[in-house]
Structure 1
Amino acid sequence: MNTNQRVDELEQRYDFDYEIGEDNIHPFGLDLHNPVFIWSAVLIVVFVVGSMIFPEASKSGLSSTRDWVINSFDWLFLLSGNIFVLFCLLMICLPYGRVRLGGQDAKPEFSLLSWFAMLFAAGMGIGLMFWSVAEPVGYFTEWAGTPLNVAGGDQASKTAAMGAVMYHWALHPWAIYGVVALSLAFFAYNKDMPLSIRSTFYPLFGDRVWGTLGNVIDTMAVLATIFGLATSLGFGAQQAAGGIEFLFGVPANLPLEIGIIAGVTAVALVSVLRGIDGGVKLLSNINMGLAGLLLLFVIIAGSVFAFAGNLLTTFGGYAEYLLPLSNPIGREDQSFYHSWTIFYWAWWISWSPFVGMFIARVSRGRTVREFLTAVLIVPMVVTGIWMTAFGGAGVDQAMGGVGSLAGGIQDSSLTLFRMLENMPLTSVTSFLAIVLVLVFFITSSDSGSLVIDTITAGGKTEAPAAQRVFWCAAEGFIAAALLVVGGADALSALQAASVTTGLPFTFVLLLMCYSLLKGIRHEYALLKLQDRQAAGAA
């Protein structure tokens, strides 16, 4: 068989029988040709109504289910997280890394700076704002459990605290996102398949992914995404309200929280209608600019020398505790292990369809090696710098008996503000922090709406505008309705439901790794043959 015949044979291997379909616009401007939209909408309504009517029962039942998942499958979550990291590192090192998303002639749509900004804003921006002080200070003061039972309020416990924070926020979560994002981008841009979770399983299941199996996978992705976003929006409104009360003395009550949700949703609606360039990209760049200013201020105000020392502690702790924290055997720190590490892993996995698809949307034109290096290594470095500046300053205040953090944490949502009040310009920096929290939420809501819109439209990247508005408004309505009727109990039930979806999605991601490897091996073989074909023609 000559080279031309072999190229033709490889190209035919990914011929598939599936059409995204023509728009089937209904009176409300929604494209309802895909059953995933109907299934998702019905299940969301049933769950939300049930949680509003029976908030305590819902919280109890779903929390019990979440706890069973976390306690029974802790080994699976931890082992899978390790597999995802090793898989991504392997893909960087193998020759497959030269494969370019969208073909060898594809060009990136966004500059490196804008690309990085969107990765962070969608992936972890709000979490880094909330937990950058609370988590390390919590570990250090034993408020939140202690990693590997290293306690004592000394330098050793500080190293363990900073190392554990990096473990939760650096390589492992971004590897989870990277697997999903690379799979989606590869099959969408290199194999011309719909930008949908189901497409990533074509090498394993063939045309069956366009039927009921694919509908179930995509519906699970929609539910995990909207439940996660609504939960974050509800709890984020409570954090922002707490910050406003801290700064301005306005009571952090239900009307203020609902007003914050309404304001965030209104701005997100405008942003989502402007698309990625005029919406998410613009907001992400604003986010990174404001975050950079706050970061620089904290480094300078907290002492550059102290920051440099803490940076060594953070990355040294990460290197020291990476392997022990990755080991599920013989763990004695069960409270920390289950309440933090396994909870985080389930949460990251449940969020991976949303964050992964958004990263895929903005990553066309990057090589596999460039993509995974950016998604793994760059976030690890930036996260380390951020956590060192904020978390290190908080731990230093707790160690030195400075301010309220010396007495431990009373309210995790106010920990960032408690750290800032011991620095100059407290009012200015606290206000900036509140703005950042809100803008990060707007960005998450915006990007989440684009993702859900794409999935429920069968993989279309340009579905009707009314559909994007529908999903964006739904996120805000769900969060507000649950707060009004059930308060924190209803939101906790929603969060428990979202975390529970991490179990089935763990198996989905493991299969995705195998499917992606098969697809990229095929693409690399085709690429080498095309190189030989071009060399022969020359």
Structure 2
Amino acid sequence: MQTSPDLAAARDEPADPAARRGRIDWPIFIISGGFFVLFLVAALVNLPWLSAAVDTAFGWATRGFGLYWQLLMLATFVVSLGIAFSKLGRVKLGGRGAVPSNSTFNWVVIIMCALLAGGGAFWAAAEPLMHFMSPPPFFGAAPRSEAAAVAALAQSFLHWGFLAWAVLGSLLTIVFMHLHFDKGLPLAPRTLLYPLFGERALRGPIAALADATSIIAVAAGTIGPIGFLGLQIAYVLQSVWHVPDTIATQALVILAVTAIFTTACIAGLEGLRFVCKIHVWLMLGLAAYLYVCGPTSFLSSVFFKAFATHLVDFVQTAMYRGDSKWLNAWTLFYWGWFIGYAPIMAIYVAKVSRGRTIRELVVLLSIAAPLITMLWFTLVGGAGIGIELATPGKVVSHGTLPEALLLGVAQAMPLRNLISALFLFLSFFSVVTNGGSMAYTIAMAMSGDRGGEPSAWLKIFWAVGMGLVGAVLITMGAGGISALQSFIVITAVPVSILILPSLWDAVRIARRMAVEQGVK
């Protein structure tokens, strides 16, 4: 094996001819696209067998890599803060003379929406309420108590807060932006291995494994919310407006959301920015309404109590190993999910962050975005908990399944049908934002982003393909979607190895760029 190449000696143009010309990597296209065809065939032929096989592999992944993932998540957060708040934080990313192409507000919006949209609307009510009814074992709180309310939000803050956001883009984006904008390497997962393997990382089996597993992971994680959106909206339409909850209704929802995010994806970053703005303004309006018209004093106090609890118990909860069954179902599932998403998400962040400093990037991803997410979970899930504490059964009377809990919160508020409809639109546009962003980024990763837009047909293929897979899987009920979502944890095994070198590569790159830019 060759020694690791000196990044300073890296050539501006890689040896990989396909990367130079920006052509589609057909082996990666066939492997990743073929996986979903095979998955659909297996699900149609024998879904119980497929679910059992995925569950077995899921258990193997969490047993063998769970502790490693916990350490990786914690280390990524710590290293990102260390870089940002040292002199290295002043390093500018994106090449010499690069200036931001988006205003700060637009930059924050398109990153927040794309990264939070995958589950933020769906789980903001469901997770805190589920923890409230069945508290996490670390806290030992009594179910449905005030202590359980604090514990529920503190646990949700861990799962959707600092660690999750840090791994989705901070260190990986530094590596991508240097190697892509400064060295001319493709904006694809394989590039993360260039500091270790040199040109060998850009072609052959190493490149195929890096790209294919990353693409499969993020596509599986995107199809899941698409499928569950159909189930959720059909459930709410029946519960509130008595529209029959049929496969046809679910499929129409999925086809509608697929048509919109495909259109946004074809339009490129401008189209994605447009749907992101709809999403963010709707979120802000609902957040303000929940605070003013919901249990305001409870929300104000429980946020600070939960946040203080989260900080005090941060390391202990991040490294909790006590109840393996609970750990697999919650924390390790999330860590596998976010790790699987990380390379493609970082590519998206790198694409829209040119001209930003390392400090700006890390402050947004590792501090500001987590705090905004925690506030959102407090307003939605905390509102449900506060109402449930004051009037037991008012929220959970609509059901205790995740798709029912958001409806329970909306129906417990004044103007309940209007608020239910607005939450449906929010869920809809969350999936539009996430689906469009991920289809765009997958297409970009497959073509290496050599300075232009990905091919329109490639964007259409992934956008329409993910929607159709979701539509087919819901005909089998939630089981097919759940099996596909669990598969992302399996793909997180190779992806977690792929992103490990960023812990030291990001530091080396930041130091070298600081010297080049005269940062003192």
> TM-score w.r.t. structure 1 length?
0.90
Q: Give the gaps of 5 or more residues in structure 1.
A: 1-8, 25-30, 533-538
Would you say 1:268 and 2:266 are equivalent positions?
A: no
Which of the two has higher C-alpha Rg? 1
Q: Provide the residue aligned with 2:390 in structure 1.
A: 400
Cα deviation, 1:8-47, whole Å, max 9, x if unaligned, reads x9854444433445879xxxxxx64543222322233223
Q: Distance in 1 between matches of 2:147 and 2:458?
A: 52
Report if the CA contact (8 A) 2:128-2:153 is conserved.
yes
Q: Provide the residue aligned with 2:130 in structure 1.
A: 138
What is the CA distance between 1:515 and its match in structure 2? Answer: 2.6
Structure 2 vs 1, CA of residues 34 and 22 (structure 1 numbering), >3 Å: closer, same or farther?
farther
What is the CA distance between 1:362 and its match in structure 2? Answer: 0.8
Q: Provide the residue aligned with 1:464 in structure 2.
A: 455
- Equivalence map 1:509-528=2 (5 Å): 509-528=499-518
Structure 2 vs 1, CA of residues 93 and 257 (structure 1 numbering), >3 Å: closer, same or farther?
same
What is the CA distance between 1:407 and its match in structure 2? Answer: 6.5
Report if the CA contact (8 A) 2:398-2:407 is conserved.
no
What is the SS of the residue equivalent to 2:168? helix
Q: Distance in 2 between matches of 1:364 and 1:39?
A: 31
What is the CA distance between 1:405 and its match in structure 2? Answer: 3.2
Q: Provide the residue aligned with 1:58 in structure 2.
A: 50
Q: Provide the residue aligned with 1:389 in structure 2.
A: 379
What is the CA distance between 1:415 and its match in structure 2? Answer: 0.6
2:355 maps to which of 365, 368, 383: 365
Higher mean C-alpha deviation, range 236-245 or range 428-437? 236-245
Would you say 1:129 and 2:121 are equivalent positions?
A: yes
Structure 2 vs 1, CA of residues 253 and 222 (structure 1 numbering), >3 Å: closer, same or farther?
same
What is the CA distance between 1:120 and its match in structure 2? Answer: 1.8
Cα deviation, 1:96-125, whole Å, max 9, x if unaligned, reads 212111135211111111111111211112
Q: Provide the residue aligned with 1:226 in structure 2.
A: 219
Report if the CA contact (8 A) 2:396-2:405 is conserved.
no
1:411 maps to which of 401, 404, 409: 401
Cα deviation, 1:247-273, whole Å, max 9, x if unaligned, reads 211122211111111101111121111
Structure 2 vs 1, CA of residues 519 and 20 (structure 1 numbering), >3 Å: closer, same or farther?
farther
Task: Give the aligned length.
Answer: 511
What is the SS of the residue equivalent to 1:387? helix
Q: Distance in 2 between matches of 1:21 and 1:77?
A: 31
Report if the CA contact (8 A) 2:395-2:411 is conserved.
no
What is the SS of the residue equivalent to 1:102? coil
Q: Distance in 2 between matches of 1:420 and 1:174?
A: 27
Higher mean C-alpha deviation, range 97-106 or range 418-427? 97-106
Q: CA RMSD in A?
A: 2.2
What is the CA distance between 1:518 and its match in structure 2? Answer: 2.7
What is the SS of the residue equivalent to 1:491? helix
Structure 2 vs 1, CA of residues 76 and 301 (structure 1 numbering), >3 Å: closer, same or farther?
same
Report if the CA contact (8 A) 1:138-1:408 is conserved.
no
Q: Provide the residue aligned with 2:16 in structure 1.
A: 18
What is the SS of the residue equivalent to 2:514? helix
Would you say 1:451 and 2:449 are equivalent positions?
A: no
Would you say 1:255 and 2:253 are equivalent positions?
A: no
What is the SS of the residue equivalent to 1:489? helix
What is the CA distance between 1:240 and its match in structure 2? Answer: 1.9
Q: Distance in 2 between matches of 1:217 and 1:266?
A: 30
The aligned amino acid for 2:340 is: S
Q: Distance in 1 between matches of 2:406 and 2:463?
A: 28
Higher mean C-alpha deviation, range 307-316 or range 427-436? 307-316
Structure 2 vs 1, CA of residues 152 and 43 (structure 1 numbering), >3 Å: closer, same or farther?
closer
Q: Distance in 1 between matches of 2:143 and 2:259?
A: 47
Structure 2 vs 1, CA of residues 200 and 260 (structure 1 numbering), >3 Å: closer, same or farther?
same
Q: Provide the residue aligned with 1:84 in structure 2.
A: 76
Report if the CA contact (8 A) 1:133-1:390 is conserved.
yes
Q: Provide the residue aligned with 1:28 in structure 2.
A: none
The percent of aligned pairs where both chains have the same amino acid is 25
Report if the CA contact (8 A) 2:117-2:433 is conserved.
no
Structure 2 vs 1, CA of residues 183 and 10 (structure 1 numbering), >3 Å: closer, same or farther?
closer
What is the CA distance between 1:232 and its match in structure 2? Answer: 1.8
Q: Provide the residue aligned with 1:27 in structure 2.
A: none
> TM-score w.r.t. structure 2 length?
0.93
- Equivalence map 1:50-449=2 (5 Å): 50-142=42-134, 145-178=136-169, 179-212=171-204, 213-277=206-270, 279-328=271-320, 331-405=321-395, 410-449=400-439
Report if the CA contact (8 A) 1:403-1:418 is conserved.
no
